[in-house]
Amino acid sequence: PCRAQPKKKKKVDVKKEQAQKERMKKKLKKLEKAAPELIPIEDFITPLKYSESNRVRSLPTLSPEETERRVLLLKKWCLFKQKQDEAEKKAIKALVESQQEALKELRLESEELYEAAIRRDEGLFPFEREGPSYTPPLPGYDPPEGKCIDITKVYTQ
């Protein structure tokens, strides 16, 4: 009699614990199945303080001559950009033609050299270069000291 009762208790406890664990697992599964919360894009949300009315700039309205001038300028710009683009494309075409001609002549000379020429150059890419700036670098310039502390918020899903 002393032995039987504790055993029953243990069994019942174990069963209860197992049932509890299964309930917890089901809850976890339900939570995981729910779609993950989207990370907010901070650039697209305007903070509320910028929608206040005192923030609106007061400028004189545009005269019809001004709008006319702007429209004509935009049309001129369109033409300018089109000509620039055409010139670029023509230059690239000339480049490609020149290269094709060179390769054709090379092939006539020697097959071996031609094969060496059309092989891919593995060391070429990735090609990195710093672009031009407005003024050339000042020799002996000592930039002011300072530390840059990054305060961007990082979201985890």
Partner 1 sequence: SAAARRPWRLFGAMCLLRLPRITQPLEKEEEEMVALMEQIELEKSCYSDHEIRKLEEEEQLKRKKESLYDEDEARGKTVIMAQDLEEKWEQKFLQFKAAPRVTDADKSNDRKSLNRKLDSNLMLLVKQKIGNQELWLLPQVEWQPGETLRSTAERAMATFLGDHIQAKVLGNAPYGIYKYKFPRAIRTENNMGAKVFFFKAFLQSSDLSQADLKADYLWVTKKELGEYLKTEYLKKVNRFLLD
Which residues would be at the binding site for partner 1 (CB under 8 A)?
Answer: 50, 54-57, 59, 70, 73-74, 76-77, 80, 91-92, 94-95, 97-99, 101-103, 105-106, 109-113, 116-121, 124, 127, 129, 132-139
Q: How far is the CB of 65 from partner 1 (least distance, A)?
A: 14
Q: How far is the CB of 151 from partner 1 (least distance, A)?
A: 17
Q: How far is the CB of 105 from partner 1 (least distance, A)?
A: 5
Nearest CB to partner 1, comparing residues 37 and 121: 121
**For residue 106, what are the contacts with CB-CB under 8 A and spacing of at least 6?**
113, 114, 117
Return the structure tokens found at 104. Answer: 């054709």
How many Å separate Cα 127 from the centre of its chain?
Answer: 19
Nearest CB to partner 1, comparing residues 5 and 51: 51
Nearest CB to partner 1, comparing residues 26 and 70: 70
Q: How many Å from the N-terminal Cα to the C-terminal Cα in the chain?
A: 56
Nearest CB to partner 1, comparing residues 6 and 44: 44
Q: What are the distances in angstroms from CA 109 to CA 47, 53, 102, 103, 113?
A: 69, 77, 11, 10, 8
How far is the C-alpha of 91 from the C-alpha of 98, rounded, in Å?
11
Q: How far is the CB of 152 from partner 1 (least distance, A)?
A: 20
